[in-house]
Amino acid sequence: METILSVRDLAVSFHTYAGTVQAVRNVSFDLKKGETLAIVGESGSGKSVTSKAIMRLIPNPPGEITNGEILFEGKDLAKLSEKEMLKIRGRDIAMIFQDPMTSLNPTMTIYKQIAEGLKQHQGLTGEDAKKRTLELLTLVGIPNPEARLKQYPHQLSGGMRQRIVIAIALACNPKVLIADEPTTALDVTIQAQILELLKDIQQKTGTAIIFITHDLGVVANMADRVAVMYAGKIVEKGTVDEIFYEPRHPYAWGLLGSMPRPSDDPNEALPAIPGTPPNLLNPPKGDAFAPRNPYAMKIDFEKEPPMFQISDTHYAASWLLHPQAPQVSPPKAIRDLALKYRPDSAFAKSILKGGAE
């Protein structure tokens, strides 16, 4: 499939009074036409900053893209002028924000907020803009759209507002849609509806989606491919199957292991990753995850691991993948998943060889 967006060695820093925070440190990934790429990671791992950097929405100062390329249709977005970016934002790349309660302008009608983008990018006004707005509202599943045009955000529920935010993002048929934790602020039933809606829209419009989330359940439901971020870096990326059933990075093990499952024994504590993420004012030498990693080796504290390729689509940055590294057995939850759902994979076989304690 054709690559539509390619991020190469992207680095973003924030200059604060305390010093320079390296929020994103040399992140690379590709986004293909029509696919959904999920970027997962805990708070502060740099996933939102990465997505905002793609749209050049990082306020400067204090933020700054210090390195890397964001290639979109032959242009490097990292180097475009602010004026050239105006033509990309909202037209080619659009964004859905986390909190629908705050991302709509409280003093502007729904119609105006949607039609604004239409006017800006497609020159639609009057009846044309109204027709397209009604189409969009229908597309995002707003009942009785005609009546909503004149309403203000406070007259709609959270779920409805998020649908409006999605309609705004879809207004100009963007080629890339960045959804920055679009369901985090919603309750579970509404979450499911919004996820269904996004999938449905992707089928209808063929837009590529970058889905930022820390909810692995959502990832399993939505994504084609997954990139796991930790401390401003991508530590593992692969197809959704590879990440869930053949994960290689101990951080991915930790994340998956801490995901609650219906089969869990209710009397047992949910596993958690010990410690806290590193301070990115002074990123640690070596693997940033090493201090929290029960599998850490000496080299993890000394030298940063490179990206090891596991398959055509699967990469992970962990010294455990080095040919000279000792065989380790992943945590039980990970072993169970792999053996249950992918018993024939090389990963499952290596688990069996590595001994099942």
Partner 1 sequence: MGRYILQRLTYGLITFFLIATFTFFLMDLLPGSPYQNQEKLTETQIQLLNDRYGLNDPLPVRYATYLGNLVQGDLGVSFRTANRPVTDLIMERIGPSAQLGIQALVLGTFVGLLLGIVAAIRHNTFIDYGSMFISVIGISVPSFVFAALLQYYVGVKLQLLPVAFWDSPAHTILPTISLSLGVTASIARFVRTEMLEVTGQDYVTLAKAKGLTGNAIVWKHMVRNAMIPAITILGPMTAGLLTGTFVIEKIFAVPGLGELFVTSITLNDYSVIMGTTLFFSGLFIIIILLVDLLYGVVDPRIRLGGNN
# chain residues binding partner 1, by CB under 8 A: 29
Q: First and final CA of the chain: distance in angstroms?
A: 42
Closest CB to partner 1 among 90 and 257? 90
Buried b vs exposed e over 317-350: b needs ≥16 C-beta within 10 Å? bbbbbeeeeeeebbbebbbebbbeebeebebbee
Nearest of 221, 105, 134, 118 to residue 173 by alpha carbon:
118
**Residue 163 binding partner 1, by CB under 8 A:** no
Closest CB to partner 1 among 27 and 110? 110
Question: Smallest distance, Å, CB 329 to partner 1?
Answer: 45
Buried b vs exposed e over 175-199: b needs ≥16 C-beta within 10 Å? bbbbbbbbbebbeeebbebbbebbe
Please state, in angstroms and rounded to a whole number, the distance separating the CA atoms of residues 164 and 277: 35
Q: What is the DSSP letter of 211?
A: E
Closest CB to partner 1 among 59 and 126? 59
Question: Smallest distance, Å, CB 21 to partner 1?
Answer: 18
Binding-site member from 55, 136, 280, 348 for partner 1 (CB under 8 A)? 55
**Residue 64 binding partner 1, by CB under 8 A:** no
**Residue 193 binding partner 1, by CB under 8 A:** no
Binding-site member from 30, 42, 69, 116 for partner 1 (CB under 8 A)? 116
For 341, the 3-state DSSP assignment is helix
Nearest of 327, 336, 304 to residue 317 by alpha carbon:
304
Question: 205: which 2 tokens?
Answer: 């419009």
**Residue 192 binding partner 1, by CB under 8 A:** no
Question: Smallest distance, Å, CB 238 to partner 1?
Answer: 29
Binding-site member from 6, 8, 20, 57 for partner 1 (CB under 8 A)? 57
Question: Smallest distance, Å, CB 102 to partner 1?
Answer: 4
Nearest of 50, 91, 68 to residue 210 by alpha carbon:
50
Angle between helix 110-122 and 158-170 (nearest 10): 10
CB-CB contact of 296 with 287 (8 Å): yes
**Residue 121 binding partner 1, by CB under 8 A:** yes
Closest CB to partner 1 among 80 and 307? 80
Question: Smallest distance, Å, CB 232 to partner 1?
Answer: 21
**Residue 232 binding partner 1, by CB under 8 A:** no
Q: Name the amino acid, one letter, at 324.
A: Q
Binding-site member from 15, 79, 131, 154 for partner 1 (CB under 8 A)? 154
Closest CB to partner 1 among 105 and 279? 105
**Residue 161 binding partner 1, by CB under 8 A:** no
Question: Smallest distance, Å, CB 105 to partner 1?
Answer: 4
**Residue 108 binding partner 1, by CB under 8 A:** yes
Question: 131: which 2 tokens?
Answer: 């027709």
Q: Which residues contact 43 (CB under 8 A, 6 or more apart)?
A: 214
Site string for partner 1, 77-106 (x = CB under 8 A): ---------xxxxxx--xx-x-x--xxxxx
Can you give the binding site for partner 1, defined by CB under 8 A? 55, 57, 86-91, 94-95, 97, 99, 102-108, 116-117, 120-121, 152, 154, 165, 168-169, 171
